């Protein structure tokens, strides 16, 4: 082919040779052989003004390759080897192209490198090559000093090896690193990190350390996010294009508050070779004026839209982070009586992510602890398709988080040697990351409080404060008194049931004791006394929330207490259907129906929740208590429990004496007297009633009181009343 002059100044800045569409296609790579021993590799662009059979070169290209106009050159197609010819790092010498345009303004080499990669991606470069580069309306002369090949292990998501391979010819791609070095005797004022050699070769640093960035316990979650959202962005664009692969455009992070969703989203933006992330809280988008909310959404995507139009596939990645995304992306049509603003905001967001003119240079990260409120259309593939639960950290995660928040104290020798971080990680089951940070703060406050002198004024004992150390005692005090996990065990709740069991046989006390001894990190009691005055719908919601909270823990126990009273409204109609026999029992147990009509809501909700398996990897134990097994059988609820255990009342004297010995309150002589009276007698006694009578008996010093109580109440009695030496008012009160 015959060498020609580049047809336009704009094309001369592309570093591409220009040919006719009849000869080659844009984007192909060509070997230009000028002599039997000299050859050069260029990337081609096509232009209609170029005559077939000729190939056009810019002045810097002709100067570097030693090509003159109308010279005959041998041209052939060149194919790159992806395993060893992709550019990992390229070092460029830079100076002003024209000395008359010299200025003293600083030029940021980091921004320059981003612009360079976007403009020259998928082009061939050779060591020693000379070409021009336009940046900030200034022309610069560049010379390639050195090229290192990209480590193939990076493409597999592995750690890079320390060995660097030098190459003569390489193909630039979006994950290459460009380093600018100022030419000797140049007056160029160059600032930024990209003016020095670094080690990063990928969109994500292989040596990335979460703990260094203040994130702990999320290694697995990030690995899954990387696999789904960033793997396609690590590979060179031409390989991705050949596969027909589209980048993931959206991630939804959901989970309990305080588990690191916002923190993780912000650090994802920092660790990527991308623009500075735009972070917006969901409610901030909404505006009272018509059309302003939609305009706010469009502004967030404006930069990405402009850059994609200008640079196409070479555009950089723009990250937009929506915190509390459920505030603006509720189910369309769910806001009855509203102005419809939420619906149009969802529509606008969908059109930007996945509309007719969809953007491919964006990554939208949404965060919420209520994923059930978000419009379903937003969660489909092509939108926020990667859904990742950021849950409560496990023991290893808690250890990482505690190490992060105590690191400065360790470095400053302010953490006492008796503090065992592993012990704290074990003791903080179901603590979120925020609660662990709060625990450390509380321990620090406790330690500092020891050095405050309170006299007429509050002042710090500076001499002792210099030797301040946070000890194990400080952490344990904060753990017991200050910080309680939102999804942990409510010890005060189930301890009250253990202390004062319900009437009859002590079923709830037994269930609560089993739950406590299990040492499960999450224990909750679903009891009707917590739902007094609730409507049927509110009762369903309260029960549902207990189960949903339980699903967030790896290991949970839910005690559903007094089931028949939870189902009070439904119970009334069922018991009426059981006719005379159950109706008599109904009245004898003082059951009071709430509501004149049948309501099946609570029954069906509880049936669904009892049969619903927990999420994968989670375990849930449900303990139910009831005094009406026959009624649960009629409801079809009994089959929801895998095991049914009958807890009887005390029916023998020997059992009564064992209970009295365990419960305490009587001397050995008093227990012996009672044992004689109850020996061989039949009885039917509940634990709570036994506890109540013991407390009442202890208020009277006479030994005859327990005898009277046990004779009448424990042994069945015979309506003869207490012994004659007891006063009528006392005996009547006690026996009743």
pLDDT at 455: 62
The residues near 252 (Cβ < 8 Å, ≥ 6 apart) are: 325, 366, 367, 368, 371, 374, 379, 384, 386, 387, 388
Compute the distance between CA of residue 722 and CA of residue 730 in angstroms, rounded to an integer.
Answer: 10
Q: What is the CATH number of domain 653-701?
A: 1.10.8.60
Residue 493: per-residue pLDDT: 58
pLDDT tier at 597, thresholds 50, 70, 90: very low
381 CB-near residues (< 8 Å, 6+ apart): none
| Per-residue confidence band for 577, with pLDDT thresholds at 50, 70 and 90 | very low
**Lowest-confidence region among 125-134, 160-169, 342-351:** 160-169
Q: Is residue 260 a contact partner of residue 217, using CB atoms and an 8 Å limit? A: yes
Q: Per this entry, what is the length of the chain?
A: 736
What's 1-79's CATH class? mainly beta
Of the pLDDT bands very low, low, confident and very high (cuts 50, 70, 90), residue 6 is very high
Is a pLDDT exceeding 70 seen at residue 558?
Answer: yes
Tell me what percent of the residues of the chain surpass a pLDDT of 90: 13
The answer to whether residues 325 and 365 touch, using CB atoms and an 8 Å cutoff, is no
Q: CA-to-CA distance for 436 and 166, rounded, in angstroms?
A: 48
pLDDT score recorded for residue 598:
38
Of 539, 555, 548, nearest in space to 489 by CA: 555
Residue range 488-517: mean pLDDT, rounded? 64
Which residues are CB-contacts of 674 (< 8 A; sequence separation ≥ 6)? 656, 657, 660, 666, 706, 707, 710
Task: Name the CA dihedral angle for 421, 422, 427, 429, rounded to a multiple of 10 degrees.
Answer: 110
The whole-number pLDDT of residue 42 equals 94
Mean pLDDT, residues 211-230: 72
What's the average model confidence in pLDDT over 700-727? 46
The residues of the chain that CATH labels 1.10.8.60 are 395-452+464-482, 653-701
The pLDDT assigned to 18 comes to 95
Residue 552's contacts (CB-CB under 8 Å, 6 or more residues apart) are: 255, 256, 391, 392, 487, 522
Phi, psi angle pair for 220, to nearest 5°: -65, -40
pLDDT at 221: 79
With 60 as the cut, is the pLDDT of residue 619 above it? yes
- Lowest mean pLDDT across 9-13, 42-46, 358-362, 710-714: 710-714
**Is residue 524 classed exposed, middle or buried when 0-12, 13-18 and 19+ CB atoms within 10 A define those classes?**
buried
Residues of the chain with CATH 3.40.50.300: 211-334+341-389, 494-573+596-646
Q: How high is the pLDDT of residue 169?
A: 93
Residue with the bigger pLDDT between 273 and 294: it is: 294
The answer to whether residues 512 and 525 touch, using CB atoms and an 8 Å cutoff, is: yes
Specify the pLDDT at position 726. Answer: 35
- Could you give the CA distance from residue 44 to residue 78 in angstroms, rounded to a whole number? 11
For the chain, residues classed under CATH 2.40.40.20 are 1-79
Residues 211 and 147: beta-carbon distance below 8 Å = no
Residue 510 has pLDDT above 70, yes or no: yes
Q: Indicate the range of 48-52, 540-544, 620-624, 710-714 predicted with least confidence.
A: 710-714
CB-based burial label for 439 (10 Å; 0-12, 13-18, 19+):
buried
CATH homologous superfamily, domain 211-334+341-389: P-loop containing nucleotide triphosphate hydrolases (3.40.50.300)
Higher pLDDT, residue 587 or 370: 370
CB atoms within 10 A of CB 733: 10
> Token digits for 294?
């939609």
Give the pLDDT band (50/70/90) at residue 72: very high
Q: Would you say the C-alpha torsion 714, 719, 722, 728 has a positive or negative sign?
A: positive
Q: How far, in Å, CA of 120 to CA of 454, rounded? A: 69
Could you tell me the pTM of the whole model? 0.56
Strands 682-685 and 650-652: antiparallel
pLDDT beyond 90 at 352: no
Report the chain's mean pLDDT, rounded to a whole number: 77
User: How far, in Å, CA of 368 to CA of 323, rounded?
Assistant: 7
CATH 3.10.330.10 region(s) of the chain? 87-199
Q: How much is the pLDDT for 319? A: 86
Question: 73-130, pLDDT tens digit by residue?
Answer: 999 999 988 778 888 889 999 998 887 777 878 888 888 888 898 889 889 999 999 9
The average pLDDT across 673-680 equals 81
Helix (H) / strand (E) element for 512: namely: helix 507-518
With left for phi above 0 and alpha for psi between -120 and 50, is residue 289 left, alpha or beta? beta
CATH classification code of 87-199: 3.10.330.10
Residue 294 has pLDDT above 80, yes or no: yes
**Positions of E strands within 206-288:** 250-254, 278-281
- The pLDDT of residue 353 is 83
Specify whether the CB–CB gap between 208 and 271 falls below 8 A. Answer: yes
Query: What is the C-alpha to C-alpha distance for residues 499 and 190, in angstroms, rounded to an integer?
Result: 75
pLDDT score for 414: 87
Residue 719 scores a pLDDT above 50: no
Q: What pLDDT shows up at residue 269? A: 66
> What pLDDT, in 10s, does the model give residues 416-449?
889 899 999 988 888 888 889 899 999 988 888 8
- The pair phi, psi for residue 650, each rounded to 5°, is -70, 125
Q: CATH second-level architecture of 494-573+596-646?
A: 3-Layer(aba) Sandwich (3.40)
The alpha carbons of the chain give a radius of gyration, in whole angstroms, of 38
Mean pLDDT of the region 38-67 = 92
Rounded CA separation 255/460 (Å): 41
CATH ID of 395-452+464-482, from 3.30.310.50, 3.40.1050.10, 1.10.8.60, 3.40.50.300 = 1.10.8.60
pLDDT at 47: 93
Res 638: pLDDT: 85
Enzyme catalytic residues: 507-508, 561-562, 611, 688
DSSP per residue over 185-222, as a string?
T---EEESGGGS-----SSS-TT--TGGGT--S-HHHH
With a CB cutoff of 8 Å and minimum separation 6, the contacts of 120 are 15, 172
pLDDT attached to residue 569 = 47
44-62 average pLDDT score: 93
C-alpha to C-alpha distances, 631 to 308, 570, 597, 626, nearest whole angstrom: 67, 11, 18, 9
- Least confident window among 136-145, 193-202, 232-241, 380-389: 193-202
pLDDT of residue 711: 52
**Rounded distance, CA 506 to CA 512, Å?**
10
3-class DSSP state of 683: strand
Q: Are strands 29-35 and 38-46 parallel, antiparallel or unpaired?
A: antiparallel
The pair of three-digit structure tokens given for residue 668, joined into one six-digit string: 């050995």
Question: 26 — phi, psi (to 5°)?
Answer: -60, 135
Q: How confident is the model at residue 213 (pLDDT cuts 50, 70, 90)?
A: low
CB neighbourhood size of 253 (10 A): 29
Torsion-angle region of 69 (φ positive above 0: left; ψ -120 to 50: alpha; else: beta): beta
Q: How far apart are CA 180 and CA 162, in angstroms?
A: 22
**pLDDT above 90: residue 644:** no
Exposure class string for 693-731: b at 16+ Cβ within 10 A, else e:
bbeebeeeeeeebbbbbbbbbbbeeeeeebeeebeeeeb
pLDDT over threshold 60, residue 523: yes
With a cut of 60, say whether residue 48 has pLDDT above it. yes
The string of pLDDT tens digits covering residues 297-341 is 888 888 888 887 776 666 778 888 888 888 888 887 765 545 566
Question: Pick the residue with more confidence: 142 or 451?
Answer: 142
Describe the crossing of helices 653-663 and 687-698 by its angle, rounded to 10 degrees. Answer: 60
Name which of 20-24, 124-128, 695-699 the model is least confident about. Answer: 695-699
**644 or 588, which is more confident:** 644
Q: Which whole number is the average pLDDT over 17-22?
A: 93
The position carrying tokens 């309680």 is 484
The model's confidence at residue 142, banded by pLDDT at 50, 70 and 90, is very high
């Amino acid at each position: 082919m015959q060498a020609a002059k580049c047809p336009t100044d704009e094309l001369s800045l592309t570093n591409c040779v220009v040919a006719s569409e009849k000869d080659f296609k844009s984007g192909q790579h060509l070997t230009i052989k000028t002599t039997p021993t000299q050859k050069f590799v260029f990337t081609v662009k096509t232009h209609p003004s170029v005559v077939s059979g000729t190939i056009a070169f810019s002045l810097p290209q002709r100067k570097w390759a030693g090509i003159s106009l109308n010279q005959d050159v041998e041209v052939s197609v060149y194919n790159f080897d992806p395993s060893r010819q992709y550019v990992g790092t390229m070092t460029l010498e830079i100076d002003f192209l024209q000395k008359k345009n010299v200025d003293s303004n600083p030029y940021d080499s980091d921004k320059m490198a981003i612009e360079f990669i976007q403009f020259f991606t998928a082009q061939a470069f050779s060591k020693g090559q000379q070409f021009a580069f336009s940046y900030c309306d200034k022309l610069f002369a560049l010379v390639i000093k050195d090229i290192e090949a990209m480590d193939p292990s990076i493409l597999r998501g592995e750690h890079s090896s320390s060995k660097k391979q030098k190459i003569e010819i390489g193909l630039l791609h979006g994950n290459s690193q460009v380093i600018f070095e100022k030419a000797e005797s140049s007056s160029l004022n160059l600032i930024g990190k990209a003016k020095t050699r670094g080690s990063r070769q990928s969109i994500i640093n292989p040596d990335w350390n979460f703990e260094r960035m203040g994130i702990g316990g999320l290694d697995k979650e990030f690995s899954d996010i990387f696999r789904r959202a960033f793997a396609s962005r690590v590979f060179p664009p031409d390989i991705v294009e050949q596969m027909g692969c589209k980048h993931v455009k959206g991630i939804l992070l959901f989970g309990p508050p305080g588990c690191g969703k916002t923190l993780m989203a912000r650090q994802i933006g920092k660790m990527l070779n991308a623009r500075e992330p735009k972070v917006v809280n969901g409610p901030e988008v909404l505006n009272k004026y018509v059309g302003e909310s939609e305009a706010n959404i469009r502004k967030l995507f404006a930069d990405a839209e402009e850059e994609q139009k200008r640079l196409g596939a070479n555009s950089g990645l723009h990250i937009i982070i929506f915190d509390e995304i459920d505030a603006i992306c509720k189910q369309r049509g769910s806001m009855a009586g509203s102005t419809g603003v939420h619906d149009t905001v969802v529509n606008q967001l969908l059109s930007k992510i996945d509309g007719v003119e969809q953007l491919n240079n964006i990554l939208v990260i949404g965060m919420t602890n209520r994923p059930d409120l978000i419009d379903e259309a937003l969660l489909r593939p092509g939108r926020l398709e990667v859904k990742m639960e950021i849950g409560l950290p496990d023991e290893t995660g808690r250890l990482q988080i505690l190490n992060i928040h105590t690191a400065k104290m360790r470095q400053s020798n302010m953490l006492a040697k008796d503090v065992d971080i592993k012990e704290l990680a074990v003791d903080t089951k179901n603590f979120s990351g925020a609660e662990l940070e709060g625990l450390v703060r509380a321990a620090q406050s406790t330690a500092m409080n020891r050095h405050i002198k309170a006299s007429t004024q509050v002042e710090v004992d500076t001499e002792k404060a210099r030797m301040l150390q946070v000890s194990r005692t400080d952490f344990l005090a904060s753990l017991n008194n200050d910080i309680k996990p939102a999804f942990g065990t409510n010890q005060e709740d189930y301890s009250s049931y253990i202390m004062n069991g319900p009437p009859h046989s002590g079923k709830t006390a037994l269930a609560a004791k089993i739950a406590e001894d299990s040492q499960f990190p999450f224990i909750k009691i679903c009891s009707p006394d917590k739902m007094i005055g609730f409507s049927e719908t509110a009762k369903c919601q309260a029960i549902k929330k207990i189960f949903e909270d339980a699903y967030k823990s790896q290991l949970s126990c839910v005690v559903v207490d007094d089931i028949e009273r939870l189902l009070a409204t439904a119970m009334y109609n069922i018991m009426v259907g059981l006719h005379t026999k159950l109706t008599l029992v109904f009245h004898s147990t003082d059951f009071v129906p709430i509501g004149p009509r049948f309501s099946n809501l609570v029954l069906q909700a509880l049936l669904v929740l009892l049969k619903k398996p927990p999420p994968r990897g989670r375990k849930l134990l449900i303990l139910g208590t009831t005094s009406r097994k026959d009624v649960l059988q009629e409801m079809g609820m009994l089959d929801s429990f895998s095991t049914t255990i009958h807890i009887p009342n005390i029916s023998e004297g020997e059992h009564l004496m064992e209970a009295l010995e365990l419960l305490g309150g009587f001397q050995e002589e008093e227990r012996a007297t009672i044992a004689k009276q109850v020996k061989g007698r039949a009885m039917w006694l509940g634990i709570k009633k036994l506890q109540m009578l013991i407390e009442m008996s202890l208020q009277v010093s006479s030994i005859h009181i327990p005898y009277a109580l046990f004779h009448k109440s424990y042994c069945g009695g015979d309506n003869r009343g207490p012994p004659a030496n007891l006063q009528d008012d006392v005996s009547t009160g006690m026996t009743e």
